[in-house]
Amino acid sequence: MQIVQWFDVNDQLPESQKRVLICVDYTRQKWDEENKKTIEVIVQRITIGEYVAPRTALAEEWFEEPENNLVDYDENNDIEYVCEDWYESPIEPELFYAIEGKVTHWMYLPEKPSEEEIKKEKDMFEKLEKLENILQKRFNVNIDEYLNIDNKRTQQTQDRINEALKRKANN
């Protein structure tokens, strides 16, 4: 099981080219009605992205036609690398966008459930549905109503216990 934790980018970076959740601060212009002027505000957004460490990703593998500001050219070896930076890839891992804002934190993506976990959950819901149908047919019991009635009884019992304890404390 993976621990869910936000990491400050100043303290720790993820491994290069690993998709992670990222928190990005964007500076936006907003009209301040009270002072009648435009002010800058910080807006945070959570998205999926990747950090690219220096000279770890080939530009030709990332971009069809790389933009010059996203490419680090190695003259000695005649290789174009993706510039060190954060890149957003929210929809598909193959599509990347340069991030306009400042990445402040990152977190590992949660692991997807295993096939076994999905099957167990599906089986459990199917069994519960069958049980509900049996109770409905045999005893004309609506599970939701039954649970509601049971909760009311439990609350009434708890209220009576509390009253008895109060009486005992007052005597």
Residues 6+ apart with CB under 8 A from 73: 79, 80, 81
Report DSSP letters for the chain, one per residue. Answer: -PPP--EETTT--PPTT-EEEEEEEEEEEEEETTTTEEEEEEEEEEEEEEEE-TT-SBHHHH-SS--GGGEEEETTTTEEEEPSEEEE-SS-TT--EE-SSEEEEEEEPPPPPPHHHHHHHHHHHHHHHHHHHHHHHHH---HHHHHHHHHHHHHHHHHHHHHHHHHHHH-
Give the pLDDT score at 3. Answer: 61
HEC string for 64-75: CCCCHHHEEEEC
Give the pLDDT score at 4. Answer: 74
For the CA atoms of the chain, what is the radius of gyration? Answer: 29
**Model confidence, pTM:** 0.60
Give the pLDDT score at 124. Answer: 83
Sorted by where each begins, the domain ranges of the chain are 7-108, 115-170
Report the amino acid identity of residue 138.
Answer: R
The per-residue pLDDT string of the chain (171 residues; one tens digit each, 9 = 90 and over) reads 556 799 999 999 999 999 999 999 998 888 989 989 999 988 999 999 999 999 999 988 887 776 777 889 999 999 999 999 999 987 776 777 888 899 999 999 988 888 888 888 888 878 877 877 777 777 776 666 656 665 666 777 777 777 777 777 777
Contact assessment for residue 23 and residue 101, using Cβ atoms and an 8 Å cutoff: no
Here the tokens at position 73 are 């050219």
Contact assessment for residue 106 and residue 16, using Cβ atoms and an 8 Å cutoff: no
Here the tokens at position 82 are 């993706």
Give the pLDDT score at 143. Answer: 62
Contact assessment for residue 107 and residue 19, using Cβ atoms and an 8 Å cutoff: no
147 CB-side CA count, 13 A: 4
